[in-house]
Structure 1
């Protein structure tokens, strides 16, 4: 499947900004820092703790620039985590800045350290692309887990989402002695459904994490997306189904071997029911969001038309005939699958 390597970035509109402000997502106290972070004068390849190469570079700055960035970056962390109480930040410092040389977001990963106990945390600085922010907001409202992010101007701040990277999880899938294969298969079906309902695409294994929580008898699994660049952008329906990406085939094989069709449909129905309950509990907010999204051009006319036709053919329905924006397609698709229309 072909995915745009450099998708067009759409600015956050004034109306969307008002929505974000209303729900505490837009904060003018957040420094507009993304472009300033590009002023690094040296970069070295970042290796993972096991020595593997990554798509990240650790970047360095001149001392005077780093001094300026340090105060701004710690203040961002305080806003994101503590609501802006600067008195709580005196013991915090920036230990490392990494630059991601991949994808559309080209993010900076900021490592914040507590000087009292050497505990650390991360957050990300990205371009505030409107489709990406819509994706984050839909995730926050409709998914089982909340997500923490802030926007100011063209700068987007995202909290780190903890979990084992999907590609790492799948690499050692068959070697895991503690693996509960049926539960993994079940969660992948539900994750696949969550993404498809709200049309979040490009869920290759590098774009999600697996959160494993020990339970009183077995381990519980939760798959969470960490990349929202492809929120309703591409025209191919299959891009919104994680099952069609080659690097997910090991877990797809597990699903096909362990779950029959009736069970798969049961898990899909379970997930749609849960999404529907979240939708109804936040009906005013999600309604405002989809109203705004429906007015905006978040993809090319060609891709919008292609997805419209692809979904209409898939479901053998004409309900998408008036959906001339990606936002309208998302709303129609959610309402159709959840039985809300």
Structure 2
């Protein structure tokens, strides 16, 4: 069988297969996909709207919530519209440029979200361990600078991913067994030498996830040490309660990502549809639940959202 290369001048396309083995159920699967996406957009845009309107919410914690909301919107929007086109219209073709663009934005947004979660852990550390200096250490300007640093880090680390893929030859097998252009899923269909791509993907994951989880673990280690020094059990609960929302969001964000990354490399025995469904959980469920969790756990935000909801 003849092979061909996808080069910068080649207009060939990839084919996103959707969820292998569950093609007959694509219409049914699209229902939770679209529902979760709509709830995610409504919840996160509500957070952005309320925080922007309420002067009393112009604080570091709520600025971080806005950053998280933006990454949630970006992550789900990178994936869900194209996935729904696959499910509803069997529109599986995606151009090489479109695939690499989707890959860049998806991984860059994920890296940015990880940076936001690290900053949130630092915010909780200062609030509990050094509350008297909280307003001087964490100003809105400083939070904005940390957010900008996270964005720059994400772009610099993720940009080589599509550039390295651009040089690879893709032969007769152009079918990507996924609903979106995930890095390793695209690497697997190349008929060239992918060692550099795989190595860089691993290095990127270690730098972003490994470093960020280490910093978050360090922050919570110091928080727990500070809480244990408090004699009052009531104060223990109150201090740890301020971290509950962040811990829930962190677990929802990192657990599916780590599972997906590990199964790509070591999970050959796991059914493809299970792996891909869980990979989609990572871009669907956290963006939908994050604004709900913070809305329930943060009284100031809950009260303001209630005020605007009652006006509608």
Greater share of helix:
2
Greater share of strand:
1
TM norm structure 2? 0.24
TM norm structure 1? 0.23
